[in-house]
Amino acid sequence: MQIIIINVQSFRISNEPIFSEKRIHKAISNALKQANITYPILALSTINPMRQFVLVLFSATSEDAAISGVQYQTFYDRLSEELENEALTCYIGDWVAYENARDEIKKMHLYIDENVSNRTGIYLTSGLDFSSTIASNLAESAERWKTLIVAGQKRILEKEIDDYLNKIVSNSKNKLKALCELHQQLTHIFFGFFYDNNADVSKLFNDAYTYADYMGSFKDVDSLRKAVSYMLSAIDDIQKNNASKSDVEKAKSFIASNISLPITVKDVADHVNLSAEYFTKLFKRATGQNIKEYIDQSKVSAAKEMLEHSNISVSMIALELGYSYFSHFTQVFKKYENMTPSEYRSRFTNQ
């Protein structure tokens, strides 16, 4: 018997494949006939748990079956025509005795696992050596990648990881093992960053890209590239948010330290080296409050303290808080407290 495992890409990975299971079985049957793989060779097709199609060929006679390389290629070409626009990969095992089928399938899956770049085509699965892998400086690279994350060098980091992936595909004799090691190292780096920045990991994922998607991304190069891109995007968002919080805190400190001056939004934005327009949006996003209103409310809070705990006249308090016009101070105070400064002092005194 001989086993051929056929990977029909959209059927394997999508809930809405291009062709139905029934249609694919029919296409396999047609391709066998067109390649003249017929009696005394008998064929049975089924699906394995990985949603790959498994074609089992039997010899109806006691003689070994003879299928030429041209026939295998014709089978693949005709199947590709039947399943137009599908990405197809056929893995062809050795002819073995029935009792050796399980070992043959295990060997074939080792070969399939090595196709981490999901190349299409037709492949004979005999003769692959899994005994060694490329010499790796992964630990050294990982330390550099941590530094690049802290420095916010996302593009450089993504390119270096991509170069490392290409190196695995080109040079490794055990590609899946190398991908697993890279995935583990990257997971340690990414989740270490999230822990250090108090990020809620459960909120990093969503229905479009789940935690399970990430944890299973070691199986092929494209999945791991997608995982790296997703995690670096999440890291970028956290770093931007942290930077925003830092700028907002600096702005609040500046306002508190200069409460006696006629502070403008531009004054605050200049202090954190941002444009007034951009900083206004940043402050609103971080606090939910308009920066101009925050300045006014900070001055009103300071005025209330002086009205409650000093005998300074209302007009002097206005001057102390940077208001050139007493009427403007009264107007701002009344906007937030629904009473004038004098009324507020009287009510507080009576209480």
Domain ranges of the chain: 2-124, 138-240, 258-350
Rounded CA-CA distance 45/6 in Å is: 10
pTM for this predicted structure: 0.53
Q: Where are the alpha helices (DSSP H) in 35-100?
A: 69-82
Ranges assigned E (strand) in 40-111: 41-47, 53-59, 88-95
Q: 59 — phi, psi (to 5°)?
A: -95, 125
* Paired tokens of 192: 């270490």
Rounded CA-CA distance 320/254 in Å is: 17
Looking at domain 258-350, its CATH architecture is Orthogonal Bundle (1.10)
Cis status of the peptide bond prior to 40, with omega within 30 of 0: yes
- Looking at domain 2-124, its CATH class is alpha beta
Q: How many Cα neighbours within 13 Å face the side chain of 318?
A: 17
* Among 41, 44, 14, 39, residue whose Cα is nearest residue 28: 44
Q: What is the pLDDT along the chain (351 residues), one digit of tens a residue?
A: 899 999 999 998 888 888 999 999 999 999 999 999 998 899 999 999 989 999 999 988 867 678 888 999 999 999 999 999 899 999 999 888 889 898 899 888 878 877 877 888 888 877 555 444 444 578 888 888 988 887 778 888 898 899 889 888 887 778 888 899 999 999 999 999 998 888 888 889 999 999 999 999 998 999 999 999 999 999 988 887 776 778 888 899 899 999 999 999 999 999 888 889 989 998 998 888 999 999 999 999 999 999 998 889 999 999 999 998 899 999 999 999 999 999 999 888 876
Angstrom CA distances, 180 to 144, 157, 174, 218, stand at 19, 19, 10, 5
**Pair type for strands 2-8 and 88-95:** antiparallel
Q: How far apart are the first and last CA of the chain?
A: 98
Rounded CA-CA distance 340/324 in Å is: 17
